[in-house]
Structure 1
Amino acid sequence: MKPNRKDCRDMTLFEENGKGYLIHSSDFNKTLYISELTDDFLDVSGLYTKILVDQEREAPAIFKANNYYFTITSGCSGWSPNAALYSRTPHLFSPAKLIDNPCEGPNYRSTFNGQGTFVFEDKGELFFMVDHWVPKNLRDSGYSILPIKVNNREITVSWTETPFSRD
């Protein structure tokens, strides 16, 4: 499938108020697109926008907090980990501004030796999933789950071995 006749590379889905969106790298990984999905979530509706034009970002992980949409992305370096960057915008279909690397802790400059893949919420807290690819033996690949802290318009992702508190 080529959503809106565009190539579709690293991608994620985002849902808000019952409406779905496809966020994907396109233009040979030069630009991210946000495409509204049809009501059944099986196709694109034709409404779309470009964000991070000519920034060569991939692996989008998007969430909304404090009335802003935040997108954590990876640079395009093949299998080699690189520094994550995040962007924010007050409106899903408006230009987003790249801010900085949200990661803190050991190996923060390489996104903890991985690449972002998804953001999810659990018990009111946000978590960032990082995949750790092992290209020569994909079976040994795995994930880290790390807490996201939102402070007004800024976010941080800190390394921890235990992301979930025990009840």
Structure 2
Amino acid sequence: MYTSIRPGQVWLDTNGKRIQAHGGSVLYLDGTYYWYGENKEKTTGENGIWHWGVRCYASKDLYNWEDLGLIIPQDLEDETSPLHPSNMMDRPHIIYNQFTKKYVCWLKIMEKNGIQSETVLTADQFLGPYTIEKTNLRPLNMSAGDFDLAVAPDGKAYYYFERVHSETICADLTADYTDVTGYYSTHFPHPAPPYVREATAHFYRNGKHYLVTSGTTGYFPNPSEVAIADTWHGPYTVLGNPHPGDDSCTSYHSQISSVLKVEGKKDLYIAIADRWCPEDMDIPYAFYREMFEFIFQGKADKIPELIQKYQIVPPAPDEHRNTSIADYVWLPFRFDGDMAYLDWKDEWKIEDYE
């Protein structure tokens, strides 16, 4: 049994197997935490399998997780289905609609034509079964990338997503949460990757809305940003990188997918992040620092010289990376005024927070 959280170390479920809940979120229901995400157990990079459904785990203490199996299984029969293992399904987010009494799940699908769309499913119970309501949804007629869903206390819901590849959008969801209304706001305009913000994670604290985002560099990690606003639609003010002392400029070799406010704790917010490619930890920090200096100076054409300088073996394309061995980096936020920081900790305990 675990008695602490150890960021970046292999995390096993109560059966002794790697936890497979990537690009994930945690939902608290009736005294139990449910951690769900992409099941990458078969994604070795050698077999054309991108996912193996959406897997879910249950815990009372946030340390020890029981495998509940697939709440959204893969579709092995229909190669055109967004749930077929060869299709690039990412970042499931599930919210509850207090009016329809439905759980609503959105999935990002990176289609083979380069367009990114959404698939929307609903269920009467959190653990399913889920029914597909919409596929090939292009919200606001936009190619929609990484995203987060958030629900206000009055039941109104919002959808934060990367408009591929130009800006971040905050869009109001319809009353049933299965589409957008057409009302939206735009944020963080950037010309192209790696500057465009993705992996948006929203949380609310002390009257402020927070958006935590990463740059756009595939499975190569990069510096994160924290932004705050007084309202759901902003305007958002960028406060900076939440990872102090991160000499590698890689957000501790991780990418945040969501933020969890821990029940019963006064001010404990946990950044839930993936370390997608642990083998990249062998790359020298100096390479990352110089690479991002070139990128942010508009000198990306010099990166091949940098690769040669440090004798880096260029990684395979994302679809050929072995993410079945991806790890997790869970860290608690430390607040200094409005700014939210994530200090590196080899080990930490929930009990150490009020």
Structure 1 length-normalised TM: 0.90
Q: How does 1:14-25 map to 2 (within 5 A)?
A: 14-17=150-153, 18-25=155-162
Determine the C-alpha separation between the residues in 2 that align with 1:163 and 1:71.
24
For residue 269 of structure 2, the aligned residue among 108, 113, 126 is 126
Residue 23 of structure 1 deviates from its aligned partner by: 0.6
Q: 1:164 Cα deviation (Å)?
A: 3.3
**Paired amino acid for 1:42:** T
The alpha-carbon deviation at position 163 of structure 1 amounts to 4.0
**Counterpart Cα distance in 2 of 1:95 and 1:166:** 36
Matched, 1:82 2:244: no
User: 1:6-55 deviations in whole A, cap 9, x for unaligned?
Assistant: 110011111221222111000x2220001111122111122211111225
Please tell me whether residue 10 in structure 1 is matched to residue 146 in structure 2: yes
- Secondary structure (helix, strand or coil) at the match of 1:11 reads strand
Partner secondary structure for residue 139 of structure 1:
helix
Tell me whether 97-106 or 32-41 shows the greater mean CA deviation: 97-106
- Which secondary structure state, in structure 2, belongs to the residue aligned with residue 33 of structure 1? strand
Number of aligned positions between the proteins? 166
1:58-107 residue CA offsets vs partner (Å, 9 max, x unmatched): 11111111211111110111211111111111111122121210113555
Distance in 1 between residues matched to 2:207 and 2:348, nearest whole Å = 25
What residue identity is the alignment partner of 2:187?
I
Q: Percent identity?
A: 23
As a proportion of its length, which structure holds more strand? 1
Distance 1:107 1:66 in 2: 30
- The answer on whether the counterparts of 1:145 and 1:163 sit within 8 Å (CA) in structure 2 is no
User: 1:58 aligns to what?
Assistant: 198
Mapped to 2, the partners of 1:29 and 1:127 lie a distance apart of 28
Q: What secondary structure is seen at the aligned counterpart in 2 of 1:161? A: coil
Q: Does 1:142 align with 2:327?
A: yes
Gaps of 5+ in 1: none
Q: Please give the secondary structure, in 2, of the residue aligned with 1:160.
A: coil
The answer as to 2:179 corresponding to 1:36 is no
CA RMSD of aligned residues (A): 1.8
Measure, in 2, the Cα distance between the counterparts of 1:49 and 1:162.
39
CA 1:108/1:64 → structure 2, altered by over 3 Å: closer, same or farther?
A: farther
Q: Are the equivalent residues in 2 in contact too, given 1:31–1:52 (CA < 8 A)?
A: yes
Higher alpha-carbon Rg: 2
Moved over 4 A (4+): 105-108
C-alpha separation in 1, matches of 2:346 and 2:150: 27
